[in-house]
């Protein structure tokens, strides 16, 4: 078991200028503080968090790779706002395209990636909306993949931004290899020749806040200044989302205020569940026992100053289970409590499948027993 606590003094609620914000701990998803977190607002380029999430999901399938070649269309080239000045017909690796999105917030790169994955931006946006629905982002609807749209139908909330940010950084932490980049050169190779272009991060927290890991900025005249900021300190990963900040400077200050507040009140309890569980009896199976394993690590975030050394773990298992048993089937749970209150649990799973015994299996068992005697 790993027990992590911060020693900073407890603070009052954070003083934040942004009208809408939310602070979340990533591993547990617990919300530490919020204000107007379900208010629908224009997200500007933090839209690209969902674009990056879908890119990494497709990379995870193995059907595309970081070396895949992405061709820039006329439509992608035509994007205004923040861009990396891709030319029509220009070919870049997907790895470079991700850098252009994550570091420089390139709208042209976002559309090029969307067309590469889905065939068209429209189809990709439908995938974005489907993913938002799957994640339970109840107050989100996308109209484009980069956030340029001023449409009233392109909206999200601080809570939903935190949800998709959490999905991205917990499922695909390799995104930090891109969002931690401050400056990096890429090479344009077009019919006009070869030129070098310097990507410069839009996330100034990389130089302002030492624990920053990402994630994405956004600003338009409608959205004002938005930010989903991620940070890691003392093994605690926080997500601070601010929307509608009045200025570029204020959004970064708001994010630092939220992160500092989060680290001042948070304590994380973590049990990696590496203790052996042994085996569970199986009735009526081809095997008499089945080995057990935990579903995963248990984490609990406390923001109330409780003594986490008092967390108790209780294993709850039946005396036996009836065959058939499927591999990965939940057969019990490890229950965690603090001060007499249940704070969570982790399922205990069957490590192997056990088929139901038939007549021949019983006969084999009898013969095996007879031979042993």
Give the active site residues.
45, 48, 105
Name residues whose C-beta falls within 8 Å of residue 115's C-beta, 6 or more positions apart in sequence: 73, 75, 76, 121, 124
Question: Interhelix angle for 121-134 vs 48-61, to 10°?
Answer: 90
What is the Cα 2 distance to its own chain's centre?
Answer: 22
The CA distance from 121 to 54, in Å, is 13
Cβ density class 195-206: b for 16+ within 10 Å, e for less = eeeebebbbbbb
The structure tokens listed for 147 are 């956030």
Among 87, 66, 26, residue whose Cα is nearest residue 241? 26
Which of 339-348's residues contact partners 24+ apart within 8 Å by CB, and which partners? 339/306, 339/310, 343/300, 343/311, 344/298, 344/300, 345/298, 346/271, 346/273, 346/294, 346/295, 346/296, 346/297, 346/298, 347/294, 347/295, 348/277, 348/292, 348/293, 348/294, 348/295, 348/315, 348/317
Sign of the CA dihedral running 98, 159, 236, 252: positive
Among 350, 315, 345, residue whose Cα is nearest residue 329? 350
| Contact between residue 193 and residue 143 where contact means Cβ atoms under 8 Å apart | no
The structure tokens listed for 371 are 């031979």
Q: Which single residue is written with the structure tokens 């058939």?
A: 324
Q: What are the φ/ψ torsions at residue 201 (nearest 5 degrees)?
A: -65, 140
The CA distance from 74 to 64, in Å, is 23
> How long, in residues, is the chain?
373
The CA distance from 244 to 67, in Å, is 37
């Amino acid at each position: 078991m790993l027990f992590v606590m911060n020693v900073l003094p407890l603070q009052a609620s954070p003083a934040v200028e942004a009208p809408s914000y939310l602070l979340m701990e990533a591993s547990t998803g617990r919300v530490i503080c919020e204000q107007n977190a379900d208010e629908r607002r224009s997200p500007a380029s933090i839209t690209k968090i969902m674009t990056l999430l879908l890119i990494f999901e497709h990379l995870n399938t193995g059907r595309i790779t970081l070396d895949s070649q992405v061709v820039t269309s006329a439509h992608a080239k035509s994007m205004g706002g923040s861009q990396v000045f891709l030319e029509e017909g220009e070919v870049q690796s997907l790895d470079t395209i991700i850098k252009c999105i994550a570091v420089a917030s390139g709208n042209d790169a976002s559309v090029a990636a969307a067309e590469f994955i889905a065939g068209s931006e429209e189809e990709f946006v439908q995938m974005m909306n489907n993913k938002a629905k799957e994640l339970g982002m109840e107050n989100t609807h996308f109209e484009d993949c980069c956030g340029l749209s001023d449409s009233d139908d392109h909206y999200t909330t601080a809570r939903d931004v935190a949800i998709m940010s959490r999905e991205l950084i917990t499922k695909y932490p390799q995104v930090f290899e891109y969002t931690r980049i401050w400056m990096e050169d890429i090479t344009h190779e077009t019919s006009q020749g070869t030129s070098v272009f310097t990507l410069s991060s839009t996330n100034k927290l990389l130089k302002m806040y030492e624990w920053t890991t990402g994630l994405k900025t956004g600003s338009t005249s409608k959205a004002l200044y938005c930010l989903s900021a991620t940070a890691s300190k003392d093994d605690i990963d926080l997500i601070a989302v601010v929307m509608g900040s009045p200025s570029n400077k204020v959004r970064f200050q708001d994010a630092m205020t939220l992160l500092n507040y989060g680290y001042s009140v948070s304590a994380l309890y973590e049990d990696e569940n590496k203790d052996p569980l042994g085996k569970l009896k199986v009735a009526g199976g081809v095997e008499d026992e089945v080995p057990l394993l935990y579903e995963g690590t248990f984490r609990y975030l406390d923001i109330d100053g409780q003594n986490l050394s008092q967390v108790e773990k209780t294993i709850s298992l039946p005396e036996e289970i009836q065959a058939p048993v499927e591999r990965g089937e939940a057969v019990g749970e490890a229950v965690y409590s603090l001060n007499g209150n249940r704070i969570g649990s982790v399922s205990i799973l069957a490590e192997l499948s056990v088929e139901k015994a038939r007549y021949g299996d019983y006969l084999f068992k009898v013969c095996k027993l007879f031979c042993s005697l």
